[in-house]
A = this chain, B = another copy of it.
Amino acid sequence: MKFRVSSVLEYEVRSPTTLILSIHALRTPTQAVLEETFTTEPSVKMEELTTAHGENRFVRLEVNEKTNLAISYQATVDTRYQVIAQDQLEAVPVVELDGSVIPFLFPSRYCQSDKLYRLAYSKFGDIQNSYLQVVAITDWIYENVEYLSGSTSSQTSAYDTVTERAGVCRDFAHLGIALCRALTIPARYFTGYAYQLNPPDFHACFEAYIGGQWLVFDATRLAPLNGLVKIAAGRDAADTAVASIFGSVVSTGMQVDCQVLGKGFVPFSRENAHVKGLSFSG
């Protein structure tokens, strides 16, 4: 499926500043970036970075003087996904996990899985199949946490959300990840553009590693899984912030858009989720 994604970020830059942005569509075997443009007004020095931690395409900008900075990104992206029957999605025992996956078992800044073992096992420990465990986690979050804009901050973590029971997509994802890791299921944070997300914005959900691949889950139910265009995957929001800013800067505006190109988009049905999972892995 082809998508047209775009974002515009506007800043008032008050001092020499470095910005590290995570807004580019990722290039993967299943996600082709057919064309893209990235511009800033005024023009500033930019550079693309890669790290070995998770998947991302950081762009680093250097702004040397006070200015009003407008950043525009547009891309046409072709995504491909697999739908996998639940009965093929068994847990990978730790003893068989690839070394690159193991760090996603460990707790991270916003996903304190080490504090959630008892709770996770008491709620989800009796479910035999790992895929169904994650479905149950996702359903539980949807049913028990209220989606409430403005209820949380950039410091809110899964440990807060599991009790306070309110948050936004970021918080839903962190709690999902923390509960998975507490059950020894590798899980990571997924950021992207999301078709049919209303109001339009960057979106966050999570991936869990089951049956040898990363399956995508979204406890918010705010957008169809097959309408996602991936920007980055990391341990949690600390790895994948839309903008990490080193300098004195005020955000003055943001617009995000994601449209499908062509007809025939059929949303991946959540009703199916109990029997089929969706993966953007090859």
Interface residues of A (CB under 8 A from B): 18, 20, 45, 49-53, 58, 60, 62, 93-95, 99-100, 102-103, 105-109, 111-112, 114-116, 118-119, 122, 144, 146, 154-155, 159, 162-166, 184, 235, 238-239, 244, 246
Contact = CB atoms under 8 A, between A and B. Distances in A.
B118 A165 contact: yes
B163 A162 contact: yes
A269 to B, nearest CB: 27
A49 B165 CA distance: 34
Nearest to A104: B53
Contacts of A105: 244
B49 A94 contact: no
A100 B51 contact: yes
Contacts of A122: 144, 165
Q: How many copies are assembled? A: 4
Contacts of A52: 52-53, 100
Contacts of A155: 112, 114-115
Given A51-B103, A58-B102, A18 B95 contact: yes
A75 to B, nearest CB: 21
28 contacts: A18-B93, A18-B94, A20-B94, A20-B102, A49-B99, A50-B99, A51-B102, A52-B52, A52-B100, A53-B53, A53-B103, A58-B102, A60-B95, A62-B95, A94-B246, A103-B239, A105-B244, A108-B108, A114-B154, A114-B155, A114-B238, A115-B155, A116-B163, A118-B146, A118-B164, A119-B164, A163-B163, A184-B246
A51 B94 CA distance: 14
A89 B52 CA distance: 26
Given A58-B102, A106-B109, A108-B109, 15 more contacts: A20-B94, A49-B99, A49-B102, A50-B99, A51-B99, A58-B99, A106-B238, A106-B239, A106-B244, A108-B108, A109-B111, A112-B155, A114-B238, A115-B163, A118-B146
